Amino acid sequence: MIRVGMMSFAHMHAGSYAACLGQLPQVELVGVADEDEARGRAAAGTNNTDYYDSYDNLLKQNLDGVVICSENSRHLEMTGMAAAAGVDILCEKPISTNAADAREMIDICRSAKVRLQTAFPCRFSPAVAQVREVVRGGRLGEVVAVKATNHGRMPGGWFVEPQFSGGGAIIDHTVHVADLLRWYTGAEAVEVYAESGTMFNDMNAEDAGLLTISYDNGMFATLDTSWSRPKSFPTWGDVYMEFVGTGGVASVDAFVQRLDLYSDENMTYGWSGWGSNIDIGLIRDWVDCLSSDREPSITGEDGLRALEVALAAYRSVGSGKPEPV
């Protein structure tokens, strides 16, 4: 039995990850630790597990792994505690709010000989994986350009407080696509030009960004990343990518496996997903990493590389010119 704990339920994805852990027969969700007692007790009750009022007490429960879903600015702190306890880690994205903390997280885990995986669930969309095989197999020839979007609703709470989140829509939504483009092509981002604005919401963080990313293989990508969708939007993002190659084109929508459901009874609109659950794909992969004693599929270094694209975008917004990654 793989014993897992949840460190914080601050992030909106925590509930889905906990539910996915509960679906795996080889996993015991030992408990939820959260300094917000009401939030932690509610999460523990929903997932039929115990609530711990301190992270140290949870980490004393002979765990194999923890899922960190705290505010982004606390990922280093949480990682340090788990690594000191000898517990493997799945950390919500972005890996941190700055590159120095991310590198320290990687170094801490390496020194403690614990595994650090970054939570990028979009890799586990069957459509995303299938188009990757098309790209990696050379069927498009040489990829020269990519047009991508990640639009979603404004999450509110600490997500719009840069001291906790690291920024706004750019850091929140860029990292998913930045990771996928690197995973697809093997190319490293070298330069970013970005513009941003606060166009849809009254807040102290950007809710819209447009990035142009240059890569070391000559490819470039544009990414429209925003919190431009209304509160009723059915999911956190759309993650769409269109690849242009010397031998063809291909496009992929990570959330296309759905039915558009209109209810006249409730006067609501939503998506009813019929495809694979990308979160359980991520969780199943991480649990397999723990049980088979292999290296993570998505490393801390992968998390850092994606974060660096977002950080270069912020520097570009500030300088008004392209910035190195």
Of 59, 88, 114, which residue constitutes the final position of a domain? 114
Neighbours of 38 (CB within 10 A): 8
Give residue 12's domain range.
Answer: 2-114
One domain, residues 149 and 107:
no
Same domain, 77 and 147: no
DSSP 61: S
Looking at the 3D structure of the chain, how many domains does it have?
A: 2
What average pLDDT does the structure give for the chain?
95
pTM of the model: 0.95
- How confident is the model over 45-99, as pLDDT tens digits? 999 999 999 999 999 999 999 999 999 999 999 999 999 999 999 999 999 999 9
Residue position matching structure tokens 């606060």: 198
In the predicted structure, residue 234 carries a pLDDT above the cut 80: no
Are residue 244 and residue 105 in the same domain, yes or no? Answer: no
User: Is 272 a residue whose pLDDT tops 80?
Assistant: no
Q: Between vectors from CA 84 to CA 4 and to CA 29, what angle results, nearest 5°?
A: 10
Give the chain's largest Cα–Cα span. Answer: 58
Instruction: Tell whether 290 is covered by a domain.
Output: no
**How is residue 9 annotated by DSSP?**
-
Q: Which of 114, 146, 170 is the last residue of a domain?
A: 114
Q: Measure Cα distances from 85 to 9, 22, 78, 113 in Å.
A: 20, 23, 11, 11
Q: What is the CATH number of the domain that holds 251?
A: 3.30.360.10
291 inside domain: no
- The neighbour count for residue 166, using CB atoms within 10 Å, is 25
| 50 is a domain residue | yes
Last residue of a domain, one of 114, 132, 161: 114
Residue 289: inside a domain, yes or no? no
Element housing 183 (H / E) = helix 169-185
Which CATH number goes with the domain that contains 77?
Answer: 3.40.50.720
Q: What is the DSSP pairing of strand 268-273 with strand 220-229?
A: unpaired
Across the range 157-181, mean pLDDT stands at 97
